[in-house]
Chain A
Amino acid sequence: MKKSVYINSVGSVSPQNTLDNSVFLDEIVNYEDTTLAVISPNYKEFIPPAAARRMAKGIKMSTASAKTALSEAQIEESAVDAIIVGTGLGCIGDSEKFIKDIIDNDEQYLTPTRFIQSSHNTVAGQIALGMGCKGHNFTYVHSSSSFESSLLDAKMQLEENEAKHILVGGVDELVDHHENTHRFIGHIKKTPVHTNALLTSKSKGAVFSEGANFFLLSNEKTNSVYSQLIALKTFNTIALERIESLATDFLSENNLSIKDIDLIVMGNNGDIEFDAYYDELSNNIFKETPQAYYKHLSGEFDTASAFGFWLANKILKNQNIPKAVQMNSIQPEKLQTILLYNQYRGENQSFVLLKGC
């Protein structure tokens, strides 16, 4: 008998004030830009300053977010059986600096710290080191389905009772060279977009950003429980004309139909070239379904969908959809079942199903 999988706690570092779990998007921070940075937590609360000095931003954000999640669940660090992290690019700031050092200094006078932090699994490794967690430690690095791959790994282990508590997170940092080069190829919007105007921007590209969103997943509920993870599925490719039937298939595989979905949370990023996937669902089969979006608040990055996952969990626990994320005016009769859908540039698409507890 497979065990049920619960999301027991959350921790979010984002361009919004999300790290304090006692509030839920009460005040939206508005931006008008083409890139966003996270609101830096007071890292001293989470990391000794001496250690923090050489730490990559991705590690710092993740530590704050992971520690927040663990303290909310009120479980001992030693009770965590595994750590699984999704990240598109890891601590890419250090990778860039190391490449620059190699080129600028003609391969001389290099120091190891930047190389070490460049390893994609630095975040998962550092968290394990900090907690003394000797369990399963995986890092998934598959663009916009990095976080979902992590969720899937955790779900399998918890269902089979190979682990009881797993820390799962998604993290990516935004740094100069990555930003500059993605401007060249038009993946970042050319003109600033106001937070409230993302969906009507009618331009190519996205507003790039960063963030760290961590969760404690367990096969038993704790007092802080947010939701139950019912199912998820990822797809490397989906043709636009296939999205409706794959969404319907996913629901029916889980004995659900469209009308069972109380809210669909979608990853629209305002890119006129690729938002058609979302429109295909929101204008057709989910036309009568309450809809929410979040990338105007979080920005776009490989693990932005982990912010969407945070949002859906907060909505289920608080039983309230903040006005700022509502995409249509349809109000749900109840908030029990949420479907998340995300894709980036038409690739690495995912469906995730959550249920309130």
Chain B
Amino acid sequence: MSQGVAITGIGIISAIGNNVAENYASLISGKIGISKITQIETVHKNEIMVGEIAAQNDTLEKLLNLDADAYSRTPMIGIIAAQEAIANAKISNINDCTTGLISGTTVGGMDKTEQYFYDFYENDLHWNHITGLGAGDTTKKIANFIGLKESFVTTISTACSSAANAIMLGARMIKSGQLDRVIVGGTDAMSKFTLNGFKTLMIQSDTFNAPFDENRKGLNLGEAAAYLVLESDKIIARDNKKVLAYVKGYGNSNDAYHQTASSEQGDGAVLAMEKALNVAGLSPDAIDYVNAHGTATPNNDLSEGRALLRVFGANVPEFSSTKAFTGHTLAAAGGVEAVYSVLALQNNIIYPNLNFKTPMKEFDLCPETNLKQKELKTVLSNSFGFGGNCSTVIFSKEA
């Protein structure tokens, strides 16, 4: 059995594209998805910038052949990304081996809950959304759409590291032989709930987010869904599958410092990266590129930067945050950046960290600001969340 777990399919929908090809084209042409908010009516519309998926709900409903207002936006974008990943992995019968689904989400059906919160008391028109608030309901809808029956299906919600943790659990279940195939990732749509929540924390930027910049003003919220298909060696051999990349290492750790903020020295992030390197059997110098969490909040970027210095010492590899393109897509972020990491490996490309001008005064770390060609064997991706949750996944070309 190889050490890495094979990735055979990827799928994504985000503010910079409705599929993998569009996302990649945006990444290499510098096309960002950050704008004023258009799809949610909010009093904050002039004070914030967000990363919205272009398609409105009615477009998504038509695409999925759903009745109007049948589903929350979160499962709809989740289905689109999961279906692309499954098609990309050339799976014709999802139940032809032991297949599971592990999905991360934080908001689930919150968009509909907040829309109809009081309407539920007035009439029964929107009662279909009552059970949609449970995060598991989003995953259930995706599972039903892709045809999973009598299967292992679960949902992880560890805030902004949810999808990274879904990849981690999926890889462990393939390794332990409990699953032959698993679809892993996450989905989160925009909601007033998160817009206002991050507003109360005062970490939302009113302009384009600038990860790792001295004058960064906070994050732009984004929405996205992204999934990977992981398959066992047995299925790779059985179906003569093309492998896109491997999940080589992973680690989760808790900062145990503060309910929302990261510790000053990035303790949890260091532990997560060290665990992932250990599982991968790699030393830090084997990492060719770091796709950073880099939310552009004052706290995250300082903490993550210090953690990078602690893990890599004087030899921090090229690193960049792609959140200037997509915004911070919360539970989906680890999935989005997993897809970008696979594409980076396939194309030997490092994405630019947009909007970076001035190094932070605490250290002399500069992210890669240009699109750069480099032979990549391994990419390390970080995702950190509320509750001190820190996750790292390492992707590689070789098993």
Q: Which residues of A line the B interface, CB within 8 A?
A: 83, 88-90, 92, 95, 98-100, 102-103, 106-108, 110-112, 115-116, 118-122, 124-126, 128-129, 131-143, 145-146, 149, 153, 156, 159-160, 177-178, 180-182, 184-185, 187, 233-238, 242, 246, 302, 347-348
Q: Which residues of the other chain, A, contact B220 by a CB distance below 8 angstroms?
A: none
Tell me, rounded to whole Å, the shortest Cβ–Cβ distance linking B1 to chain A: 14
- Contact at B260–A120, with CB atoms within 8 Å? no
CA distance A132 to B152 in the complex (A): 32
- Contact at B149–A135, with CB atoms within 8 Å? no
- B253 CB-CB contact with A under 8 Å: yes
Among the 9-residue stretches B73-81, B113-121, B290-298, B352-360, the one with 4 or more Cβ atoms under 8 Å from chain A is: B113-121
Interface centre among A149, A233, A238, A348 (most CB of B within 10 A): A149
Q: Which residues of the other chain, A, contact B42 by a CB distance below 8 angstroms?
A: 107
Known A107-B42, A234-B154: A185·B192 in contact at CB below 8 Å: no
- Contact at B196–A143, with CB atoms within 8 Å? no
- Contact at B252–A129, with CB atoms within 8 Å? no
Query: Which of A120, A134, A236, A246 touches B157 (beta carbons < 8 Å)?
Result: A120
Tell me, rounded to whole Å, the shortest Cβ–Cβ distance linking B60 to chain A: 23
Q: Which residues of the other chain, B, contact A149 by a CB distance below 8 angstroms?
A: 154
- Give the 5 A-B residue pairs with the shortest CB-CB distance, closest first: A125-B387, A115-B197, A120-B157, A236-B153, A143-B136
Interface residues as binary, B17-43 with A (CB distance below 8 Å gives 1, 0 otherwise): 000000000000000000000000011
- B256 CB-CB contact with A under 8 Å: yes
Interface centre among B140, B172, B388 (most CB of A within 10 A): B388
- Contact at A103–B387, with CB atoms within 8 Å? no
- Contact at A237–B200, with CB atoms within 8 Å? no
Known A128-B256, A137-B252, A185-B127: A180·B389 in contact at CB below 8 Å: no
- B268 CB-CB contact with A under 8 Å: yes
- Contact at A139–B157, with CB atoms within 8 Å? yes
- Contact at A115–B156, with CB atoms within 8 Å? no
- Contact at A102–B387, with CB atoms within 8 Å? no
Q: Which residues of the other chain, A, contact B176 by a CB distance below 8 angstroms?
A: 156, 159-160
- B66 CB-CB contact with A under 8 Å: no
Q: Which residues of the other chain, B, contact A131 by a CB distance below 8 angstroms?
A: 256
Q: Which residues of the other chain, A, contact B201 by a CB distance below 8 angstroms?
A: 112, 115-116
Tell me, rounded to whole Å, the shortest Cβ–Cβ distance linking A201 to chain B: 22
- Contact at B134–A88, with CB atoms within 8 Å? yes
- B259 CB-CB contact with A under 8 Å: yes
Select from chain B the residue with minimum beta-carbon distance to A108: B43
Known A134-B256, A235-B150: A103·B155 in contact at CB below 8 Å: no
- Contact at A118–B134, with CB atoms within 8 Å? no
Interface residues as binary, B166-206 with A (CB distance below 8 Å gives 1, 0 otherwise): 00010011001010000000000000110011011100000
Q: Which residues of the other chain, B, contact A146 by a CB distance below 8 angstroms?
A: 136, 154-155
- Contact at A138–B114, with CB atoms within 8 Å? no
Interface pairs (23), CB distance under 8 Å: A88-B134, A89-B134, A95-B193, A98-B193, A98-B196, A108-B43, A111-B200, A112-B260, A116-B260, A119-B159, A119-B386, A122-B259, A125-B386, A125-B388, A134-B253, A134-B267, A137-B254, A137-B389, A139-B158, A141-B105, A143-B136, A153-B169, A180-B121
Interface residues as binary, B114-148 with A (CB distance below 8 Å gives 1, 0 otherwise): 10011011001001001101111101100100001
- Contact at A125–B254, with CB atoms within 8 Å? yes
CA distance A184 to B125 in the complex (A): 12
CA distance A84 to B110 in the complex (A): 24
Tell me, rounded to whole Å, the shortest Cβ–Cβ distance linking A260 to chain B: 23
- B258 CB-CB contact with A under 8 Å: yes
- Contact at B148–A141, with CB atoms within 8 Å? no
Q: Which residues of the other chain, A, contact B258 by a CB distance below 8 angstroms?
A: 129
Known A139-B158, A145-B154: A98·B197 in contact at CB below 8 Å: yes
- Give the residues from 255 to 305 in chain B that come closer than 8 angstroms, CB to CB, to chain A: 255-260, 267-268, 271
- Contact at A99–B113, with CB atoms within 8 Å? yes
- B90 CB-CB contact with A under 8 Å: no
Tell me, rounded to whole Å, the shortest Cβ–Cβ distance linking B206 to chain A: 15
Q: Which residues of the other chain, A, contact B143 by a CB distance below 8 angstroms?
A: 236
- Contact at A138–B386, with CB atoms within 8 Å? no
Tell me, rounded to whole Å, the shortest Cβ–Cβ distance linking A236 to chain B: 4
Q: Which residues of the other chain, A, contact B172 by a CB distance below 8 angstroms?
A: 156
- Contact at A143–B387, with CB atoms within 8 Å? no
- B106 CB-CB contact with A under 8 Å: yes
Q: Which residues of the other chain, A, contact B159 by a CB distance below 8 angstroms?
A: 119-121
